[in-house]
C-alpha cells in the first residue's frame, strides 16, 4: 500500500515538470459545449424493470402504445421488463448534423438492473427546450446483478446506470458564436494568473511582442496577424499547439471513503514532530450452555460470554526536518509505516498545526 501512495505522488510531480499544450489547459472562446437531457424507456429486461409502484413508467408505456394505435388500460399492465430512465450527454459545439455520440442512461424508478436492456428512441433537448437529437440502442452497464429465490445475490459494479455507445444522433446543429478574424480569446480551464501570464508570454515569443495579452486569470486575447486572417483555422491550430508551463496550486486531496491520498508537486511540509498510534479493540465470543439438573423444572439456556481485549499500538515520535519536494513528502510519510487512512489523519493534523504548506481537500 505504501508503494501505491508513492507512485501516485510521483505521477502528479512528473506531470508538472513538462510543458503542456494550450489545447490541454485552455480553450477558445466560442467553442462551447451543450448539456442535453431526455426521458426514455429501456425495454427487454429480464424481470428487473420497474414495479407497479413506479406509476410514471406505466403511464409512459400506455402513451407509447397509443401512438401505435394500441389502447391498454393502465390497471391491466404489469411491467417488469421495462424501466424508466433519464438520458444525458454533452454535445460539442462543432458537431454537424448526423454526428453519432455516446449517451448515459440512469434508472429513475425502482428497477433492480438495466443489464440486457435496449433504450427506445428518446428525444434529447437542451436547457432552452429545443430538441437537438435522439438516442436509441443497447445499454451497456459493464456488470451484473443476479438475485436467487433463496435470497442470495451476486453482483459486480453498478447496474442501474449504463451507457449507449454511439446511440445518440445529432439532428439540429447548435448555434455557435463566430470567431473574429482580428482577435481571438483563450480561456484557461483552471483560472490562474501565473498560467495566464505564461500563455501570453509563450504566444508573444512565437508571434512577436504585444500579440497576446492576459486580461485576467482566465482570459488571454490574441491579435491575429493580418497575413494569417485569411486562414483562421490554420492559425488557431498553430496557436493551440504552443507548449506552456502551467502552474498549479499546492493541494492535497484526501478521499476518506477509499483511503486515497494524492498530493501535488508543490506540496511542502515544514519541520515538525509526529507521534501516531492507535487503539485496537477485539471482542471474542465464548458461548456457554447452562444445563438444568435432572428432573428439575428448568430449561437449557445458551449464554454468550463476551470477553473484550484491547491493545495499544506502540506510538513512536518521528522528527521530520521538512520536505520541499513531493518525493521527500512521500518518503517522510512512508517512514511512519502507517496505513493510508492513518496518513489521512496525519495530513489533517499537519494542516491544523500549520506545518502543511498546501490546500487540503477532503472528499
Q: Are 272 and 232 in the same domain?
A: no
Looking at residue 350, its pLDDT comes to 79
Looking at residue 13, its pLDDT comes to 43
69 CB neighbour count, 10 Å cutoff: 6
- Judge whether residue 125 has pLDDT over 90: yes
- Buried-state track 303-319, b at ≥16 Cβ within 10 A, e below 16: eeeeeeeeeeeeeeeee
Rounded CA-CA distance 95/48 in Å is 36
Confidence of residue 14 (pLDDT cuts 50, 70, 90): very low
For 92-116, the pLDDT digits (tens) are: 888 889 999 999 999 998 888 898 8
Identify the domain containing residue 97 by its residue range: 33-170
Is 279 domain-assigned?
yes
Question: Is residue 81 left, alpha or beta, with left meaning phi > 0 and alpha meaning psi from -120 to 50?
Answer: alpha
Q: How far is CA 337 from CA 61, 254, 314, in A?
A: 59, 18, 12
Confidence of residue 42 (pLDDT cuts 50, 70, 90): very high
- Judge whether residue 200 has pLDDT over 50: yes
Spatial neighbors of 16 by CB under 8 A, at least 6 apart, are 246, 248, 264, 265, 266
CA dihedral for 326, 327, 333, 334, sign (positive or negative): positive
- Judge whether residue 361 has pLDDT over 90: no
Looking at residue 16, its pLDDT comes to 47
Is 4 domain-assigned?
no
Mean pLDDT across the stretch 5-24?
59
Mean pLDDT across the stretch 31-39?
89
Mean pLDDT across the stretch 235-251?
88
Phi and psi (nearest 5°) for 2?
-65, -35
Nearest to 306 by CA among 288, 290, 289: 288
Mean pLDDT across the stretch 297-315?
61
Q: Let me know: does 60 contact 85? Beta carbons within 8 Å.
A: no
Q: Are 232 and 336 in the same domain?
A: no
Q: Are 115 and 192 in the same domain?
A: no
Q: What value does the mean pLDDT of the chain take?
A: 80
Mean pLDDT across the stretch 138-164?
75
Select, from the ranges 61-75, 138-152, 187-201, the one with the highest average predicted confidence (pLDDT): 187-201
Confidence of residue 187 (pLDDT cuts 50, 70, 90): very high
Looking at residue 6, its pLDDT comes to 40
Q: Are 128 and 64 in the same domain?
A: yes
Tally of domains within the chain: 3
Decide which of 137, 170, 203 is a domain's last residue.
Answer: 170
Looking at residue 253, its pLDDT comes to 83
Q: Are 89 and 146 in the same domain?
A: yes
- Judge whether residue 177 has pLDDT over 90: no
Pairing between β-strand 316-320 and β-strand 272-276 as defined by DSSP bridges: antiparallel
Is 327 domain-assigned?
yes
- Judge whether residue 1 has pLDDT over 50: no
Is 11 domain-assigned?
no
Is 147 domain-assigned?
yes
Looking at residue 120, its pLDDT comes to 95
Mean pLDDT across the stretch 189-205?
92
Q: Are 38 and 166 in the same domain?
A: yes
Select, from the ranges 121-135, 239-253, 280-294, 344-358, the one with the highest average predicted confidence (pLDDT): 121-135
Q: Are 325 and 261 in the same domain?
A: yes
Looking at residue 356, its pLDDT comes to 80
Confidence of residue 78 (pLDDT cuts 50, 70, 90): confident
Whole-model pTM: value is 0.65
Written as nine digits, the cell of 65 is: 402504445
33 CB neighbour count, 10 Å cutoff: 13
Amino acid at each position: 500500500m505504501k508503494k501505491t501512495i508513492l507512485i501516485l505522488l510521483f505521477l502528479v510531480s512528473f506531470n508538472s515538470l513538462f510543458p503542456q499544450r494550450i489545447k490541454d489547459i485552455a480553450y477558445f472562446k466560442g467553442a462551447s459545449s451543450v448539456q442535453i437531457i431526455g426521458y426514455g424507456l429501456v425495454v427487454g429486461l429480464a424481470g428487473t424493470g420497474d414495479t407497479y409502484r413506479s406509476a410514471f413508467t406505466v403511464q409512459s408505456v400506455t402513451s407509447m402504445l397509443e401512438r401505435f394505435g394500441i389502447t391498454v388500460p393502465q390497471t391491466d399492465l404489469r411491467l417488469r421488463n421495462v424501466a424508466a430512465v433519464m438520458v444525458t450527454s454533452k454535445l460539442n459545439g462543432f458537431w454537424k448534423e448526423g454526428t453519432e455520440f455516446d449517451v448515459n442512461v440512469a434508472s429513475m424508478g425502482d428497477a433492480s438492473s438495466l443489464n440486457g436492456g435496449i433504450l427506445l428512441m428518446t428525444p434529447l433537448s437542451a436547457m432552452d427546450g429545443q430538441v437537438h437529437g435522439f438516442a436509441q440502442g443497447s445499454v451497456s452497464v459493464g456488470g451484473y446483478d443476479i438475485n436467487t429465490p433463496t435470497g442470495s445475490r451476486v453482483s459486480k459494479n453498478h447496474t442501474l446506470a449504463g451507457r449507449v455507445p454511439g446511440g445518440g444522433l445529432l439532428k439540429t446543429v447548435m448555434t455557435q458564436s463566430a470567431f473574429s478574424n482580428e482577435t481571438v480569446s483563450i480561456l484557461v480551464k483552471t483560472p490562474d494568473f501565473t498560467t495566464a501570464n505564461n500563455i501570453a508570454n509563450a504566444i508573444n515569443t512565437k508571434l512577436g511582442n504585444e500579440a497576446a495579452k492576459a486580461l485576467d486569470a482566465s482570459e488571454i486575447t490574441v491579435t491575429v496577424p493580418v497575413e494569417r486572417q485569411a486562414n483562421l483555422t490554420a492559425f488557431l491550430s498553430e496557436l493551440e499547439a504552443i507548449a506552456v508551463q502551467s502552474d498549479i496550486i499546492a493541494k492535497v486531496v484526501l478521499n476518506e471513503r477509499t483511503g486515497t491520498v494524492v498530493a501535488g508537486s508543490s506540496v511542502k511540509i515544514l519541520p515538525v514532530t509526529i507521534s501516531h498510534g492507535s487503539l485496537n479493540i477485539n471482542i471474542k465470543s465464548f458461548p456457554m450452555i447452562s444445563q438444568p439438573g435432572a428432573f428439575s423444572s428448568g430449561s437449557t439456556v445458551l449464554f454468550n460470554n463476551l470477553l473484550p481485549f484491547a491493545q495499544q499500538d506502540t506510538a513512536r515520535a518521528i522528527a521530520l526536518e521538512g520536505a520541499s519536494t513531493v518525493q521527500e513528502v512521500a518518503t517522510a510519510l512512508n517512514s511512519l509505516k502507517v496505513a493510508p487512512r492513518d496518513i489521512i489523519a496525519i495530513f489533517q493534523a499537519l494542516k491544523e498545526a500549520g506545518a502543511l504548506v498546501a490546500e487540503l481537500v477532503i472528499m
